[in-house]
Structure 1
Amino acid sequence: MTPQDLIAAFDTLAEAPDGVKRLRELVLQLAVRGKLVPQDPEDEPASVLLKRIAAEKARLHKAGEIRTPKATTGVSRDETPFDVPEGWAWTRFGTITDARLGKMLDKAKNSGPLRPYLRNANLQWFEFVLDDLKQLRLEDSEVDECSLAVGDLVICEGGEPGRAAVCDESVAGMVYQKALHRARPYCGISSWYLAYLLRCDSSGGRLADLFTGATIKHLTGRSLAAYAVPVPPLAEQKRIVARVDELMGLLDRLEAARNAREATRTALRDAALAALRDAETPDEVEVAWDRIAERMDDLFTAPADVDPLRQTVLQLAVRGRLVPQDPNDEPASALLERAKAERTEMAQQKRIRLAKHPGVRIRREWQPPVEWADACVYDIAYSYDHLRVPVSKAKRAERAGDVPYYGANGQVGWIDEALFDEPLVLVVEDETFIGRTKPFSYLIEGRTWVNNHAHVLRPSVAVAPQYLNMMLMFYPFIDATSGTTNRRKLTQPVLLGAQVGIPPMAEQKRIVAKVDELTGLLDRLEQHLADKTTAHDAFAAAAVHHLDA
């Protein structure tokens, strides 16, 4: 694949998730490797340009217009990550630019009139943001030393080190603080070419090799001067910048078109999901589902799109709208009576602790069908929390085995023996909760061990294990949790006092079967979308491989 082939495929690649972002990165990779525009043997070689720069620096120093240039070493073969075309040359950033940091902020020492100045926050990639300018005091005699001129390359020293933009009329004459470098290229070297190079090496990770600092990263003046850069002939630099600008404009248009289509698609998908959620009867649900199924490929384009549909299916299931009620089913009230008797028997056998009913702690916000029964989790499940045993990671390593070890978010390891050997529903006890998108509960079966970060519920005769899990997976627990934002807790009384609606057992089984059917369909849809994403990624990776070959 040639660069031209890649550009011809922009429309296709831009439709992939992060497609435009990756194409922007790829355009810059091609640009700084000499693969975006053809070389012209008539161009003055970069080696000649570097000699002219050396002579110009000597002249300016002799005239007292610049400080004594710091000596720079040549770029060794080991420092060059790729070969450059004939006529290009590797050199140091400090060889081709005069760079210096801005004014130190020191209220005790700074004097003179207040002047607006640029800081990290005002500098984004390729642009300046001027809606929040701060001021510092600066004498007139200091302005020339730390002010900007059109064409200067401005580079972040901290924050996001290496982030850069080229000075234009909007910031010309403005002063800048010490958190920014001002680089003035010699002999017509393009500031825009250098800005694109910085962006490419920032995305690719090469720039990070120059940073100092363990937690807060900095790009010092010495590191910036040592930065190894590939330099094309001047004429080719101009062609590269023009071509990059052209392709970035094309990508901007493709991104805008994709965003517009995505906004329309999202609105249509949300409307279809709302119609499904608001369906009052199983017949209305079927009609709404058929409408979604007819446009599945248009409404769902990424694996993450499927999650809201999954949650809607579960919501309909536990509210009695997914399958029709059957008046011939044994009443749900009979299930609760049997569960009550079972609880008494289990307590007498000391299989559970006979705790007092916590009362309703979280009220249900919807009305169940008349055939269903009102209940709390306490009425339909038994707490096995007293049987949980936490085991440290180090101890588990000493007791390695084939028994799954579970915590708040699923299996977190293995151990050599089991605490439980029956179907159980685990519910998150302590977690962040706020902003959580994963289910709050999950079903486990067989020989298992559970730590103290998940509540353990054993279903009673009143509820099928799968149905109990469905009710709790996305139950509105968040507002009932307690603790800090970063670590909240769902207490046992609140969990057991959560109000639910219980269908007859026959209906529970019909609901579980229907959910399994729809979940299987959604699993296949999600896999199909994941395969499409993988195919787009593979195509992009193949394109890069062929271009690098």
Structure 2
Amino acid sequence: MDTKKLRQKILDLAIHGKLVPQDPNDEPASVLLERIRAEKERLIKEGKIKRSRKSAKTSDTPHYPQDVPFEVPKGWVWCLLEELAYVAAGSTPNKDAFVAKGIPYIKMYNLRVQKIDFDFHPQYIKREIHEGKLHRSRTEIGDLLMNIVGPPLGKLAVIPSTLPEGNFNQAAVLIRPYHHKELLVKYLFYYLSEMSEINSISTKGSAGQVNISLTQSQNMRIPLPPLAEQQRIVEEIERLFKLIDIIEQGKADLQTTITQTKNKILDLAIHGKLVPQDPNDEPASELLKRINPKAQITCDNGHYAQLPKGWSIYELMDVAKIVTGSTPSKSNLSYYGGNFPLYKPSDLDAGRHTNTASEYLTTKGRDVSRIIPPNSIAICCIGSIGKVGYIEQEGTTNQQINTAIPSLAIFPDYLYHLCTSTYFQNSLMEKSSAVTISIVNKSKMEHIKIPLPPKEEQKRIVVAIDNFFNVLDAVKENL
């Protein structure tokens, strides 16, 4: 279930008057609009607000049908945002206006997940600036803020009671209804969240930045329902959104369970408990004697009772060659722009199917690099330690990656699953050293001890893991 699309559909139905039934006994929105206009005129006469310049032709009657996006139900009216609310833009004062403690100054990074998060990089300005130069953009509890510079565009948040006074920068507008503030803010919040009106008037700058001007914000078209219907709409949206919250939490819990299940499957696999052993399989120790006579068994089932029969524990370097990557000189332009992949940690996000790189080398660049063959396991060893990718296409890596090139003793897919297991990841972290950034060098990685099953059992383990994971991935995709 796509809950994001479901929320969008609910908002779409709401603003078209199709979410809740109309009641012919409701006072028409035109009457409400007259009261709001009267309140606005009172505030203008008292000098509390200024009359804005009208950049669009307005009247005391609803717009003609051709001027609005869609037809509204009986009892509704179309109006401009500035008819309903005081709309003001923020601004940025001089650097000397900022102080260590003063009036909270909201920036757009403080609008997070439809709320004001002022604990995130708080800034403050002097009170005299707040009450002087920036007096028109002073915020009050319950005001609606909308960012008008993006992307993203149209982020919304209501000023909370924890910010009884504040100001904000020029990337947003303040929206403060003249009448029935609490209800209208909620209705406007949901209407503007639908984004269709915002997208229809936004413009794109030369640098790819989208924006809405103050005048465009003031002239946004609003479908206004009767006050009683607004209340029903808001209540129904909140009721449905709470149900979606429960669904999303259930999805998140199930995704967590899926991840935990995968980890458990890998744990069972590398401890010999996922598939049955076959006494006819050649023991891992016998295979290693032929392939790598120098390999030293750390322990086998004769010395370690919990190790399945035929299994042994070796160091990673006994079953795979570890290669640390490098980056060809950036100053030599002839090294770059070809078809030979240079894998970086971000490329390992593809996991089991790492086959494209964020950068490519020429033949000259390839010749000065350490070649990684297909079916190798790339492991991030600096920074994002433990990120693992199965390299499907021959390439090279940068110095943040150590690559395990498997010998004939270990099935590549088994090595991949082993490296993604909690057991291996914990071993990596135990061997990491950190000054300013975590690092696991080649030597330490080579000495990580790994459980090695017979080769045939490795193949059975991989088949079992893939079967389980396919089912779990199918469940996850259909959430």
- Within a 5 Å distance, the mapping from 1:22-33 to structure 2 comes to 23-33=6-16
- Map Cα deviations across residues 202-246 of structure 1 (whole Å, 9 max, x no partner): 3536436558986998876434313222223xxx23322234225
Q: Counterpart of 1:502? A: 452
CA shift in 2, pair 1:122/1:500, >3 Å:
closer
Deviations 1:109-157 (A, max 9, x none): 799xx9876846998888788999979535999799777778x633255
Show the 5 A alignment for 1:106-121. Answer: 119=106
SS at match of 1:493: helix
Letter in 1 for 2:51: T
Amino acid paired to 1:395: G
1:252 aligns with 2:242: yes
1:389 Cα offset (Å): 10
Tell me the distance in 2 between the aligned counterparts of 1:441 and 1:80. 53
Residue 69 (structure 1) aligns with: 52
Q: Aligned partner of 2:448: which letter? A: A
- Structure 1 position 92 matched with structure 2 position 80: yes
Amino acid at match of 1:523: N
CA contact (8 A) 2:414 2:462 kept: no
Q: 1:279 matched to which residue of 2?
A: none
1:427 matched residue in structure 2:
378
- In structure 2, distance between residues paired with 1:412 and 1:123: 36
| Higher normalized helix content (fraction of residues) | 1
Gaps of 5+ in 2: 58-62, 299-303, 349-353
Q: Once the 2 structures are TM-superposed, how far is the Cα of residue 93 of structure 1 from its aligned partner?
A: 1.5
> What's the % identity of the aligned pairs?
24
Mapped partners of 1:426, 1:415: distance in 2: 20
Return the offset for 1:319: 2.5
Q: Distance in 1 between matches of 2:197 and 2:305?
A: 56
Aligned partner (choices 160, 178, 185) of residue 177 of structure 2: 185
Q: Residue 78 of structure 2 aligns to a residue in which SS?
A: strand
Q: Secondary structure at 2:471's aligned position in 1?
A: helix
Deviation string for 1:461-500 (max 9, x for gaps)? 43344443443343223554578988x7665434433322
User: 1:239 maps to what in 2?
Assistant: 229
Give the conservation status (yes or no) of the 8 Å contact 1:388–1:452. yes
Question: Per the alignment, do residues 76 and 451 of structure 1 end up closer, same or farther by CA in structure 2, a change over 3 Å counting?
Answer: farther
- Structure 1 residues 367 and 498 mapped into 2: Cα distance closer, same or farther (>3 Å)? farther
Using a 3 Å threshold, how does the CA distance of structure 1 residues 306 and 35 change in structure 2: closer, same or farther? same
2 CA distance for matches of 1:95 and 1:156?
Answer: 17
Equivalent residue for 2:71? 83
Deviating more after overlay: 97-106 vs 239-248: 97-106
8 Å CA contact 1:31–1:240 kept in 2: the answer is no
Task: Please report the TM-score for the alignment, with normalisation by the length of structure 1.
Answer: 0.58
Q: Which residue of 2 aligns with 1:207?
A: 198
Write the distance in 1 (CA, Å) between the matches of 2:115 and 2:312: 62
Q: Partner letter of residue 356 of structure 2?
A: V
Distance change in 2, residues 1:79/1:492 (3 Å): farther
Do residues 315 (structure 1) and 306 (structure 2) align? no
Aligned residue among 463, 473, 479 for 1:526: 473
Structure 2 residue aligned with 1:333: 285
**Structure 2 Cα separation of the partners of residues 153 and 426 of structure 1:** 54
Looking at structure 1, the residues matched to 389 and 97 of structure 2 have their Cα atoms a distance apart, in angstroms, of 61
> Hey, what's the Cα distance between the residues in 2 that align with 1:222 and 1:511?
67
* Corresponding letter in the other structure for 2:16: R
- Does the C-alpha gap of structure 1 residues 39 and 375 become closer, same or farther in structure 2, counting only changes over 3 Å? closer
Any stretches of 5+ residues in structure 1 without a counterpart? 1-15, 267-300, 344-356, 534-549
C-alpha deviation, 1:411, in angstroms: 0.5
Within 5 Å, which residues of 2 pair with 1:142-541? Answer: 153-156=143-146, 163-165=156-158, 174-179=164-169, 183-186=175-178, 188=179, 191-202=182-193, 204=195, 206-207=197-198, 210=202, 221-232=214-225, 236-249=226-239, 251-252=241-242, 255=245, 259=249, 301-302=254-255, 305-323=257-275, 330-340=282-292, 368-369=307-308, 371-382=310-321, 394-396=337-339, 409=348, 410-412=354-356, 424-429=375-380, 432-434=383-385, 436=387, 440-442=388-390, 444=392, 448-453=393-398, 457-474=404-421, 475-476=424-425, 477-478=428-429, 480=431, 491-503=441-453, 505=454, 508-530=455-477, 532-533=478-479
C-alpha offsets along residues 281-328 of structure 1, whole Å, 9 cap, x if unaligned? Answer: xxxxxxxxxxxxxxxxxxxx55x7434323322332223333455677
- Deviations, residues 393-434 of structure 1 (Å, cap 9, x unaligned): 8422xx9xxxx9977531017999999998743323567524
User: Does the C-alpha gap of structure 1 residues 126 and 153 become closer, same or farther in structure 2, counting only changes over 3 Å?
Assistant: farther
Decide whether the 8 Å contact of 1:25 with 1:200 is kept in 2.
no
Secondary structure, in 3 states, of the residue corresponding to 2:409?
coil
> Match for residue 542 of structure 1?
none
Instruction: Note the C-alpha offset of 1:510.
Output: 2.6
What amino acid maps onto 1:90 in structure 2? W
For the residue of structure 2 that corresponds to 1:71, the secondary structure is coil
Contact residue 82 and residue 218 of structure 2 kept, 8 A = yes
- Conserved in 1, the CA contact under 8 Å of 2:30 and 2:75? yes
Shift in CA distance, 79/373, structure 1 to aligned 2, threshold 3 Å: farther
CA offsets per residue over residues 67-98 of structure 1, 9 Å max, x none?
23321414797874443234433332123323
Tell me the CA shift for residue 36 of structure 1: 2.4
Deviation at 1:516, TM superposition (A): 0.8
Closer, same or farther: CA 54–435 of 1 in aligned 2, 3 Å:
farther
SS in 2 for 1:35: coil
Report the number of matched residues.
433
Q: What TM-score do the two structures reach when normalised by structure 2? A: 0.65
**Counterpart Cα distance in 2 of 1:201 and 1:501:** 57
Q: Supply the RMSD in Å over aligned alpha carbons.
A: 5.6
Distance 1:66 1:384 in 2: 70
Residues 333 and 184 of structure 1: is their aligned pair in 2 closer, same or farther, counting only changes over 3 Å?
A: closer
